[in-house]
């Protein structure tokens, strides 16, 4: 019986192993390039559905005590709990009773459409009695003599439409669509607000009653946000993050 040449067999196995690694890396590179290309060309549908003027206000340069405020902007993530259409109707309805006034800057529907409701230059009423706790310590601004200090003066509020099985006060639901995560990451990346200043309604709420956004996939969002941010990294590195008075987006479609 003829014996195998051990060194030759070992060399062949090493060659085949190396070839398999090269092919795997090539497939991974092709897939990554495809994903990168799709994200680079991604542009969500955007519509403008302005909230009624009673449901938002101007941003203040001073608090009610006359002290200048210059907080850098934050992003606060929410969920609607009701349908997107119902949410828009609520915000477009005049509310002359201040206890009923509420709004987000933007809402992202289940199919990924971004509905702009309040200009980024204005103050949406998205989180009363709230505080952002970051590296600079607790941040909140009191802008009303009756209501407690909040993050609204320097917050950009974005809400995700809740799935149909989430129209309740429970802790969980089936989660958000991939289209929503993609549009959300795109919108946050476009704002140039640092990831360290992206939080949730639950994260800033001081009442202990807010849970939103429930069932949020932080890992999926972080991955998409990093990719969208890297697409224009060379441009972004030459720009400082915006101050709240400078925060704005291109003209919106009517």
Q: DSSP string of 49-94?
A: -PPPGGGEEEPPSB-TTS-B--PPPEEEEEE-SS-HHHHHHHHHS-
Count of other CB atoms within 10 angstroms of residue 214? 20
Contact 16, 158 (CB under 8 A): no
- 62, 187: one domain: yes
Question: What angle is formed at CA 10 by the lines to CA 6 and CA 12, rounded to 5 degrees?
Answer: 115
Q: What is the pLDDT of residue 248?
A: 56
CA–CA distance, 104 with 127 (Å, rounded to integer):
9
- 63, 164: one domain: yes
21 three-state secondary structure? helix
- Number of domains composing the chain: 2
- 174, 215: one domain: yes
Would the pLDDT of 129 be above 80? yes
Contact 148, 239 (CB under 8 A): no
Would the pLDDT of 80 be above 70? yes
Contact 213, 160 (CB under 8 A): yes
Q: What is the pLDDT of residue 53?
A: 98
- 60, 116: one domain: yes
Has residue 254 been placed in a domain?
no
Range of the domain at 26: 7-41
Lowest mean per-residue pLDDT among 37-41, 97-101, 248-252:
248-252
| CATH number for the domain that contains residue 223 | 3.40.80.10
Contact 229, 245 (CB under 8 A): no
- 19, 122: one domain: no
Has residue 251 been placed in a domain?
no
- 190, 142: one domain: yes
Would the pLDDT of 251 be above 90? no
Q: Which of 48, 55, 59, 184 is closest to 117 using CA atoms?
A: 48
H or E stretch including 158?
strand 155-160
């Amino acid at each position: 019986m003829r014996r195998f040449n051990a060194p030759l067999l070992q060399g062949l196995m090493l060659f085949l192993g190396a070839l398999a690694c090269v092919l795997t890396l090539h497939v991974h590179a092709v897939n990554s390039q495809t994903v990168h290309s799709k994200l680079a060309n991604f542009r969500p549908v955007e519509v403008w559905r302005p909230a009624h003027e009673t449901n938002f206000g101007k941003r203040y340069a001073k608090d009610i005590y006359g002290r200048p405020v210059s907080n850098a902007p934050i992003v606060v993530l929410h969920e609607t709990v009701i349908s997107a259409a119902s949410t828009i109707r609520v915000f477009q309805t005049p509310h002359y009773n201040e206890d009923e006034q509420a709004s987000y800057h933007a809402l992202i529907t289940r199919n990924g459409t971004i509905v702009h409701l309040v200009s980024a230059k204005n103050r949406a009423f998205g989180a009363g009695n709230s505080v952002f706790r970051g590296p600079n310590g607790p941040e909140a601004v009191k802008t009303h003599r009756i209501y407690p200090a909040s993050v609204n003066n320097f917050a950009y509020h974005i809400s995700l439409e809740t799935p149909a099985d989430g129209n309740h006060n429970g802790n969980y639901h089936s989660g958000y669509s991939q289209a929503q995560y993609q549009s959300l990451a795109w919108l946050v990346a476009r704002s140039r607000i640092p990831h360290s200043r992206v939080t949730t309604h639950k994260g800033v709420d001081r009442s202990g009653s807010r849970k939103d956004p429930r069932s949020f996939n932080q890992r999926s969002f972080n991955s998409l946000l990093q990719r969208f941010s890297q697409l224009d990294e060379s441009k972004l590195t030459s720009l400082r993050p915006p101050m709240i008075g400078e925060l704005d987006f291109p003209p919106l479609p009517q």
